[in-house]
Chain A
C-alpha cells in the first residue's frame, strides 16, 4: 500500500519535473505543483526531486523551508487564511484571527487534530479595500469581524465544492501593425456603439463582479444584442470601496454597488431603453449629491489618470483592445525611429524615478547596464511584481488590468539596454495576476511583439515568468535574482552592482511594474509632456493604494507634488465615523508614519524621505484616533521579523529584540531605559544591515517615536493606551445608565462574556472577556465603555 503510493508520487514528480524541463530555475514552480497536489511537500517527493534534478537535498530543503507558501507538514482539508496586511490590521484582523483560533482550538499556522482546518496568515492579498479579509479555500470573505467567524466556518463543516472561476497572426513589419490597429479599432470601437464595462479587479471580483459580467452577457444574448454591444471585463477602476462597478459607454454612466440581480435591468433599462437607473448611481455620502458619470465624481476629479488610464478602457484579456488604444505604438516608435541612446536620453529627460520604493533614476540604471560587458552577450531585464508591501495593490491592478503596457515597457527597455532575455517575477499570492501576465506574454509572442526579430526590426527578446513563494525579502533585487535561479531568496552584498553582475552573473536591470508601465507613455508623448507633471525632483504621476480608516478606499493616481491633505480629504473623502485623523503611513514596512502636523506635505520622493518616511511602492494607510502608534510599530516589527531572511546579525537578532521591547511596552511592562535601548539598537540595525529590509526596518519605530513619543511614554509611565488597542491596558464595561438592554452585544459576543435580561442593563464578565471589541462597535447607545 505504502509502496504503491510512493510509486504514484514518483510518477507525479517525474511528470512535473519533465514539464519544467528539469531546470533549477523552475524549482519553485515544481515545488508549487507538488504542494498544490498534496497540500504539503512530502519528504519522499522532495528526495525524489533532488535525485532526478541532481540538486543536493539540503538545497531543496532550504528552499522548501524558506518560503512561507511551502509546508513540509501535512495540512488540513480546508485552508483558512487571514490577512494580516497593514490595511487589514488597522481594521482589526487580529481579532478575527483570534476568534478563529479560539473556535478551532489551534494556534496560527496549526492544523486541527481532525485534519479538517489549517489556519494560516498572509500579509496582504491585494484586496485591501474589502479588509479585513478571510479566505477559505480560495473563497474571499470581506469586511470580517469576530462575530462573523463562527457562522462562516460552520458552513465548512459539511464538505463543500468550491468552484473557482478561470478567466479565459504574427506582425512582421511596422506598417502591418498600423493596418492591424485600424482593423481592430473598427471592430472594437465602431462609432456610436455601446459597451458595458464591468470592473473585474480584485476588489470587485471579491464581491461577485465576474458573475455579474456573465449575467450581463447572457442578458445581452437574450435581447439579441450580443454581437453589437461589447462586454469588457476591465481591471481595477480604483474605486473598489464602491464595487462592483459597471460603466455603460459611450455615455460613461457609472453604476456602483451593483449586484447580480441588477445586471439584467442594466441591459434592459440602461442599454435598450436609454434610461438611467437612479438607485445605482453614486451618491456622495457627505452631501447626498448624485453623480451620473465617472469623471464627475469627486473621488476621480483630482486624480490624474495616466498609467491607470487604460485600466478604465480596455478588457484586460484583450490584446486587441490594447492595440486599438494605441498599444505597442511606442514599441514601434522606439524600434524604428529611435536609437537605444536616444531612448535612454528620453527617459532621463522625463526624470522617471523607480516606482518600486527607492526612487532611483531609471535612465541611470539602464545606462549602467547598457555599458556593462557580458561574457556571452546575455543581459537581462526583470520586472519586479513581488509587491510585498502589505496594504498595497497598485502593481496587482496593473498586472491584471493592463498587462501589455508592462510588457511593452520591458521590450522598449530591453532594446535600449541591449538585453536578450527578461523575467517577470510575480508573487505567489497573486494567482490571477500570474495568469493574466502569462496569457498576455503568449498573446504578445503570437503577434510578434516578443520573440525573434520583433516587428522585423532585427531585435530579439523574450520574457519568462518566475514565481515567488511568499517572502517579502524576495522583492529585494539580489534576493529576487537568487529566487529566479531557484535558490533561497537571500540577499547578497551589491558592492558590484547588479547592472554589472546580476542574474546568473550577467548584467541585469530590474524595474518595478509601475516603472515599466510608464515607459510607453514617455516614448509616446515625449519627455517634456511627462515632466510637465510633478515637482523638481519627482516627475509624472504616482499610484497609491489608499486604505485604512478612510471613506473612499481604493487606488488613486495623482500628480507628484499633490499634498497628502488633498489625497486624504478631497479624493479620499476624509475619515469616516466622525473620527479624527491621526497619521498616514507611507512606504510600507520600510516607511514611516506622518503625523497630522505634516499633512500639507507634497507627495515627492525627497520630501517624504526628509520626514522619516518614504514614497515606497505606494501603500498609503490612513490611521484615525483609534489607531495606537505603538501597536503599529509592533505590527511592522513583527512583520519584518517574520520576513527577515535571517542572514545577517543586525536584522535577524536586532529586529527580534526590538520587537520584544515594543511588545513589553504594549503590555505595560516597558521601561524608559528600554525605550533608549530601542532607539540605540534601531540606529545600529539601520547602519549595519546587509540589505534594504534591515536598513529600513527601523523606520516605522523611529518615525513613531519621533512624532508620537508621548504615546510611548503613556504606555510606559501611565500604563495607558489612549487608542484603546493594547489589550493588556484596557477593559470593557457597560454603563448601566446608558444601556437599554437591547441584547445586541450579548448576542454578538463570541465568548458569551455578557449577561443580562431584555430591557435590563447588561454586564460584562471581565474574566471571560477576550477584549475583541465587538460589543463596543455594535452598541448603538454608546453604553459599552472602553478604558
Chain B
C-alpha cells in the first residue's frame, strides 16, 4: 500500500496504480483524452496533467501513466494545472474545433478565445484508434505516419489495407468524432454554450 496526499486528503492506493486510477477510486475528476481503460496508456495529449510535489520540488506529470508514490502530494486542480490545461485546450481547439468533447472542456475551463492561427484538422493525434485497432481488434491496419506537425493517422500509402475488417472500432473510440452541440463550427470558433453552468472549482492551495 502506498500512502500519499491527494488534493489535501491523505489516501492510500495499491502499488502499481497510476495517479489516475487512484483519482477515479476516490471520485476525483481528471479529464483524459488519449487514455481509455482497456488500452495501454500513451500519455500524448497531456490534458490529464497533475502537480506532483516531492519535498520542495514540484512538477507536472501525466496522471494516466505516472504511478502513485509513497509520501508525495498530488494536486489535481492547482493554478499551475488549470493554467496548463487551459492552454492545451486552446491548442487542440485551434487545430480541431469540431469536437464536442473539446468544446465542452473549453466551457468547463473557461477558455473563451483562440489566440492562434486556427485550422480544421479533425484529429488530435491521440492514437486511440491505432491502439484500438491493434490491441483490441488485432488489426494493426492503421498507424502514424510522418512526424512533428506532419504527423497523421494513416493507412500505408493511403490505401485501405487488407488487415482492415471495417469493424468501425476506430471510429467508435475517437474522442473528436462527435460534433459540438451547436453543430459544425468554423476554424477558431468556440461553442461556449454552457460557459456559465459548468465552471470548474479550482482546488484551493493549502
Residues of A within 8 A of B (CB): 43, 46, 56-62, 65-66, 72, 471, 488, 492-493, 495-496, 641-650, 652-654, 656-657, 660, 677, 680-681, 684, 687-690
Partner of B156, one of A57, A471, A643, A645: A57
Interface string of B140-160 (1 = CB under 8 A from A): 111111111111001111000
Q: In the bound complex, do residue A495 and residue B67 qualify as a contact, i.e. CB atoms below 8 Å apart?
A: yes
Closest-by-CB residue of B relative to A690 is: B43
Partner of A690, one of B46, B124, B161, B163: B46
Top 8 closest pairs, chain A to chain B, by CB? A646-B151, A58-B143, A61-B156, A56-B140, A684-B87, A653-B91, A65-B145, A657-B116
Partner of B145, one of A61, A647, A652, A653: A61
Closest-by-CB residue of A relative to B134 is: A56
Does B60 belong to the interface (CB within 8 Å)? yes
Interface centre among B49, B124, B144 (most CB of A within 10 A): B144
Closest-by-CB residue of B relative to A656 is: B149
| Bound CA–CA A81/B42 (angstroms) | 36
Q: In the bound complex, do residue A653 and residue B92 qualify as a contact, i.e. CB atoms below 8 Å apart?
A: yes
Does B61 belong to the interface (CB within 8 Å)? yes
| Bound CA–CA A656/B42 (angstroms) | 22
| Bound CA–CA A644/B151 (angstroms) | 10
Partner of A493, one of B43, B47, B143: B43
| Bound CA–CA A85/B87 (angstroms) | 31
Q: In the bound complex, do residue A61 and residue B67 qualify as a contact, i.e. CB atoms below 8 Å apart?
A: no
Closest-by-CB residue of B relative to A673 is: B115
Across-interface contacts of A656 in B (CB, < 8 A): 149
Interface centre among A495, A641, A642 (most CB of B within 10 A): A495
Closest-by-CB residue of B relative to A685 is: B87
With A649-B124, A684-B88, A688-B46 as given contacts, are A58 and B140 in contact (CB-CB < 8 Å)? yes
Does B83 belong to the interface (CB within 8 Å)? yes
| Bound CA–CA A66/B43 (angstroms) | 19
Q: In the bound complex, do residue A61 and residue B149 qualify as a contact, i.e. CB atoms below 8 Å apart?
A: no
Closest-by-CB residue of A relative to B80 is: A687
Partner of A649, one of B88, B143, B147: B88
Interface string of B26-69 (1 = CB under 8 A from A): 00000000000000011111110100000000011110011100
Across-interface contacts of B141 in A (CB, < 8 A): 56, 58
Does B84 belong to the interface (CB within 8 Å)? yes
Q: In the bound complex, do residue B143 and residue A688 qualify as a contact, i.e. CB atoms below 8 Å apart?
A: no
Q: In the bound complex, do residue B46 and residue A646 qualify as a contact, i.e. CB atoms below 8 Å apart?
A: no
Q: In the bound complex, do residue A657 and residue B117 qualify as a contact, i.e. CB atoms below 8 Å apart?
A: yes
Q: In the bound complex, do residue A56 and residue B91 qualify as a contact, i.e. CB atoms below 8 Å apart?
A: no
With A680-B87, A687-B84 as given contacts, are A648 and B147 in contact (CB-CB < 8 Å)? no
Q: Whole-angstrom distance from the CB of B20 to the nearest CB of chain A?
A: 12
Across-interface contacts of A647 in B (CB, < 8 A): 42, 44, 125, 151
Does B94 belong to the interface (CB within 8 Å)? yes
With A58-B156, A643-B148, A690-B43 as given contacts, are A650 and B88 in contact (CB-CB < 8 Å)? yes
Does B3 belong to the interface (CB within 8 Å)? no
| Bound CA–CA A656/B125 (angstroms) | 15
| Bound CA–CA A653/B93 (angstroms) | 10
Q: Whole-angstrom distance from the CB of B167 to the nearest CB of chain A?
A: 16
Closest-by-CB residue of B relative to A492 is: B43
With A493-B62, A643-B148, A688-B84 as given contacts, are A649 and B140 in contact (CB-CB < 8 Å)? no
| Bound CA–CA A645/B43 (angstroms) | 14
Partner of B149, one of A58, A646, A684: A646
| Bound CA–CA A660/B91 (angstroms) | 13
Closest-by-CB residue of A relative to B156 is: A61
Across-interface contacts of A653 in B (CB, < 8 A): 91-92, 94-95
Q: In the bound complex, do residue A645 and residue B143 qualify as a contact, i.e. CB atoms below 8 Å apart?
A: no
Q: In the bound complex, do residue A59 and residue B143 qualify as a contact, i.e. CB atoms below 8 Å apart?
A: yes
Partner of A641, one of B45, B46, B149: B149
Interface centre among B80, B87, B95, B154 (most CB of A within 10 A): B87
Closest-by-CB residue of A relative to B150 is: A646
Q: Could you list 14 A-B pairs, sorted by A, with CB under 8 Å?
A: A58-B141, A58-B163, A62-B143, A488-B144, A493-B62, A646-B144, A646-B148, A649-B44, A649-B45, A649-B124, A652-B151, A654-B87, A689-B46, A690-B46
Across-interface contacts of B92 in A (CB, < 8 A): 649, 653
Closest-by-CB residue of B relative to A660 is: B117
Q: Whole-angstrom distance from the CB of A478 to the nearest CB of chain B?
A: 11
